[in-house]
Protein backbone atom coordinates (compact mmCIF):
# COMPACT_ATOMS: atom_id res chain seq x y z
CA UNK A 1 0.00 0.00 0.00
CA UNK A 2 2.88 2.28 0.85
CA UNK A 3 4.44 1.54 -2.51
CA UNK A 4 1.17 2.36 -4.31
CA UNK A 5 0.89 5.65 -2.42
CA UNK A 6 4.50 6.46 -3.20
CA UNK A 7 4.00 5.71 -6.89
CA UNK A 8 0.86 7.87 -7.09
CA UNK A 9 2.49 10.79 -5.29
CA UNK A 10 5.57 10.51 -7.50
CA UNK A 11 3.43 10.56 -10.65
CA UNK A 12 1.50 13.53 -9.24
CA UNK A 13 4.60 15.62 -8.68
CA UNK A 14 6.11 14.55 -11.99
CA UNK A 15 2.93 15.50 -13.79
CA UNK A 16 2.72 18.90 -12.11
CA UNK A 17 6.33 19.58 -13.07
CA UNK A 18 5.46 18.52 -16.60
CA UNK A 19 2.54 20.94 -16.78
CA UNK A 20 4.68 23.78 -15.50
CA UNK A 21 7.72 23.15 -17.69
CA UNK A 22 6.18 22.33 -21.07
CA UNK A 23 5.59 25.27 -23.39
CA UNK A 24 3.60 23.15 -25.83
CA UNK A 25 -0.04 22.94 -24.73
CA UNK A 26 -0.38 19.38 -26.04
CA UNK A 27 2.35 18.04 -23.80
CA UNK A 28 1.05 20.09 -20.91
CA UNK A 29 -2.42 18.60 -21.38
CA UNK A 30 -0.89 15.12 -21.41
CA UNK A 31 0.88 15.86 -18.12
CA UNK A 32 -2.39 17.18 -16.79
CA UNK A 33 -3.99 13.81 -17.53
CA UNK A 34 -1.24 12.15 -15.49
CA UNK A 35 -1.80 14.63 -12.65
CA UNK A 36 -5.54 14.10 -12.68
CA UNK A 37 -5.19 10.34 -12.83
CA UNK A 38 -2.81 10.02 -9.91
CA UNK A 39 -4.50 12.76 -7.90
CA UNK A 40 -7.91 11.19 -8.32
CA UNK A 41 -6.57 7.78 -7.30
CA UNK A 42 -5.10 9.31 -4.16
CA UNK A 43 -8.39 11.08 -3.47
CA UNK A 44 -10.41 7.92 -3.99
CA UNK A 45 -8.09 6.03 -1.68
CA UNK A 46 -8.82 8.56 1.07
CA UNK A 47 -12.57 8.25 0.69
CA UNK A 48 -13.34 10.96 -1.84
CA UNK A 49 -14.56 8.63 -4.57
CA UNK A 50 -17.37 10.87 -5.79
CA UNK A 51 -15.15 13.86 -6.32
CA UNK A 52 -12.63 11.71 -8.18
CA UNK A 53 -15.35 10.32 -10.43
CA UNK A 54 -16.78 13.74 -11.19
CA UNK A 55 -13.28 15.08 -11.90
CA UNK A 56 -12.57 12.33 -14.39
CA UNK A 57 -15.90 12.75 -16.13
CA UNK A 58 -16.22 16.52 -16.30
CA UNK A 59 -12.70 17.84 -16.03
CA UNK A 60 -10.81 15.27 -18.07
CA UNK A 61 -13.63 14.00 -20.23
CA UNK A 62 -15.27 17.34 -20.92
CA UNK A 63 -13.08 20.36 -20.40
CA UNK A 64 -9.69 18.86 -21.22
CA UNK A 65 -11.04 17.25 -24.39
CA UNK A 66 -12.42 20.59 -25.59
CA UNK A 67 -9.13 22.23 -24.68
CA UNK A 68 -7.18 19.61 -26.62
CA UNK A 69 -9.35 20.10 -29.69
CA UNK A 70 -8.94 23.89 -29.50
CA UNK A 71 -5.19 23.46 -29.07
CA UNK A 72 -5.05 21.16 -32.08
CA UNK A 73 -6.01 24.15 -34.22
CA UNK A 74 -2.80 25.89 -33.18
CA UNK A 75 -0.43 23.18 -34.29
CA UNK A 76 3.13 24.35 -34.56
CA UNK A 77 6.00 22.86 -36.50
CA UNK A 78 8.73 22.88 -33.91
CA UNK A 79 7.29 21.41 -30.74
CA UNK A 80 9.64 21.42 -27.79
CA UNK A 81 9.27 18.92 -25.01
CA UNK A 82 11.43 17.34 -22.34
CA UNK A 83 13.89 16.34 -25.07
CA UNK A 84 15.40 19.79 -25.42
CA UNK A 85 17.99 20.84 -22.89
CA UNK A 86 16.30 24.09 -21.90
CA UNK A 87 13.04 22.49 -20.90
CA UNK A 88 14.59 19.48 -19.17
CA UNK A 89 16.71 21.89 -17.11
CA UNK A 90 13.58 23.86 -16.19
CA UNK A 91 11.83 20.63 -15.19
CA UNK A 92 14.80 19.62 -13.04
CA UNK A 93 14.71 23.06 -11.44
CA UNK A 94 11.03 22.69 -10.58
CA UNK A 95 11.67 19.24 -9.12
CA UNK A 96 14.40 20.72 -6.97
CA UNK A 97 11.97 23.42 -5.83
CA UNK A 98 9.41 20.81 -4.84
CA UNK A 99 12.03 18.79 -2.99
CA UNK A 100 13.20 21.90 -1.13
CA UNK A 101 9.64 22.84 -0.26
CA UNK A 102 9.04 19.34 0.99
CA UNK A 103 12.11 19.50 3.20
CA UNK A 104 10.95 22.80 4.69
CA UNK A 105 7.37 21.71 5.21
CA UNK A 106 8.10 18.23 6.49
CA UNK A 107 8.77 19.44 10.02
CA UNK A 108 5.15 19.12 11.06
CA UNK A 109 4.26 15.57 10.13
CA UNK A 110 1.61 14.85 12.75
CA UNK A 111 -1.11 17.13 11.40
CA UNK A 112 -4.29 15.59 10.12
CA UNK A 113 -6.61 17.81 8.15
CA UNK A 114 -8.03 15.47 5.58
CA UNK A 115 -11.75 14.86 6.08
CA UNK A 116 -13.94 14.12 3.11
CA UNK A 117 -16.87 12.44 4.72
CA UNK A 118 -19.25 12.79 7.61
CA UNK A 119 -22.36 11.29 9.11
CA UNK A 120 -25.31 13.59 9.56
CA UNK A 121 -29.02 13.38 9.04
CA UNK A 122 -30.08 10.60 6.74
CA UNK A 123 -26.68 10.42 5.03
CA UNK A 124 -24.37 8.09 6.97
CA UNK A 125 -20.64 7.95 6.25
CA UNK A 126 -20.94 9.53 2.84
CA UNK A 127 -18.70 12.04 1.16
CA UNK A 128 -19.49 15.75 1.58
CA UNK A 129 -19.69 16.46 -2.12
CA UNK A 130 -22.01 13.54 -2.74
CA UNK A 131 -24.30 14.67 0.05
CA UNK A 132 -24.16 18.22 -1.28
CA UNK A 133 -25.23 17.21 -4.75
CA UNK A 134 -27.98 15.06 -3.30
CA UNK A 135 -29.20 18.02 -1.25
CA UNK A 136 -29.19 20.24 -4.31
CA UNK A 137 -31.42 17.86 -6.21
CA UNK A 138 -33.58 17.00 -3.21
CA UNK A 139 -34.31 20.31 -1.50
CA UNK A 140 -32.69 22.72 -3.92
CA UNK A 141 -35.93 23.90 -5.45
CA UNK A 142 -35.60 27.05 -7.51
CA UNK A 143 -31.86 27.17 -6.91
CA UNK A 144 -31.52 23.99 -8.97
CA UNK A 145 -33.55 25.63 -11.72
CA UNK A 146 -31.36 28.74 -11.53
CA UNK A 147 -28.22 26.60 -11.71
CA UNK A 148 -29.53 24.75 -14.75
CA UNK A 149 -30.48 28.08 -16.32
CA UNK A 150 -26.95 29.36 -15.73
CA UNK A 151 -25.48 26.35 -17.54
CA UNK A 152 -27.91 26.76 -20.44
CA UNK A 153 -27.12 30.46 -20.62
CA UNK A 154 -23.38 29.88 -20.83
CA UNK A 155 -23.97 27.44 -23.70
CA UNK A 156 -26.15 29.95 -25.55
CA UNK A 157 -23.73 32.82 -24.90
CA UNK A 158 -20.78 30.81 -26.23
CA UNK A 159 -22.78 29.74 -29.29
CA UNK A 160 -23.75 33.33 -29.97
CA UNK A 161 -20.18 34.55 -29.50
CA UNK A 162 -18.52 32.04 -31.83
CA UNK A 163 -21.22 32.17 -34.49
CA UNK A 164 -18.86 32.93 -37.34
CA UNK A 165 -19.21 32.83 -41.12
CA UNK A 166 -19.30 36.59 -41.81
CA UNK A 167 -21.42 37.34 -38.75
CA UNK A 168 -18.48 37.27 -36.38
CA UNK A 169 -15.11 38.84 -35.98
CA UNK A 170 -13.55 35.35 -36.19
CA UNK A 171 -13.59 35.34 -39.97
CA UNK A 172 -11.78 32.09 -40.63
CA UNK A 173 -14.56 29.88 -39.26
Partner 1 sequence: MSPYMLIILIFTLGLGTLITLSSSHWLIAWMGLELNTFAILPLMAQQHSPRAMEATIKYFIIQTTAATMLLFASVSNAWLSGQWEIQQMSHPTPLALITIALALKLGLAPMHAWFPEVLQGLNFSTGLILSTWQKLAPFSLLLQIPPTSSFLLITLGFISVLMGGWGGLNQTQLRKILGYSSIAHLGWMILIMQYAPPLTLLALTVYIVLTSSMFLTFLYNQATNINSLAISWTKTPMLTALTPLVLLSLGGLPPLTGFLPKWAILQELTKQGLTPVAALTALSALLSLYFYLRLSYATALTTPPNNLPATLPWRIIFKQPTTFLAVLITMSLSLLPLSPSVMAFFTF
Binding residues for partner 1, rule: CB under 8 A, are: 143, 146-147, 149-150, 153-154, 156-157, 160-161, 167-170
> Smallest distance from the beta carbon of 86 to partner 1, in angstroms?
29
Count of other CB atoms within 10 angstroms of residue 80: 13
Choose between 109 and 159: whose C-beta lies nearer to partner 1: 159
Q: How far is residue 42's CA from residue 40's CA, in Å, rounded to a whole number?
A: 5
**DSSP per-residue codes, 63-93:** IIHHHHHHHHTT--SS---TTSHHHHHHHHH
Kindly state the smallest distance separating residue 140's Cβ from partner 1, in Å. Answer: 11
Which CB atom, from 57 or from 150, has the smaller least distance to partner 1? 150
In order of 24, 34, 96, 150, the CA distances from 88 in angstroms are 13, 18, 12, 43
Q: Between residues 61 and 168, which has the closer beta carbon with respect to partner 1?
A: 168
Q: To the nearest whole angstrom, how small is the minimum distance from the Cβ of residue 169 to partner 1? A: 4
Q: How far is the CB of 127 from partner 1 (least distance, A)?
A: 18
> 66 or 89: whose CB is closer to partner 1?
66
Nearest-approach distance from CB 167 to partner 1, in angstroms: 6
The backbone region for 165, taken as left when phi is positive above 0, alpha when psi lies in -120 to 50, beta otherwise, is: left
Nearest to 129 by CA among 23, 55, 30: 55
Q: Least distance (Å) from partner 1 to the CB of residue 109?
A: 22
Strand 123-127 and strand 117-120: pairing?
antiparallel
d(CA 43, CA 102): 20
Would you say 5 or 161 has its CB closer to partner 1? Answer: 161
CB-nearer residue toward partner 1: 101 or 168: 168
Amino acid sequence: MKYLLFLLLFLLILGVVGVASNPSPGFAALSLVMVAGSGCSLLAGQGGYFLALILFLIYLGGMLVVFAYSVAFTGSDYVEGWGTRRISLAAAGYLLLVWGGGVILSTNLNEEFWTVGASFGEFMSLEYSLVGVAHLYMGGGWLLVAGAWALLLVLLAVLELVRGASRGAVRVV
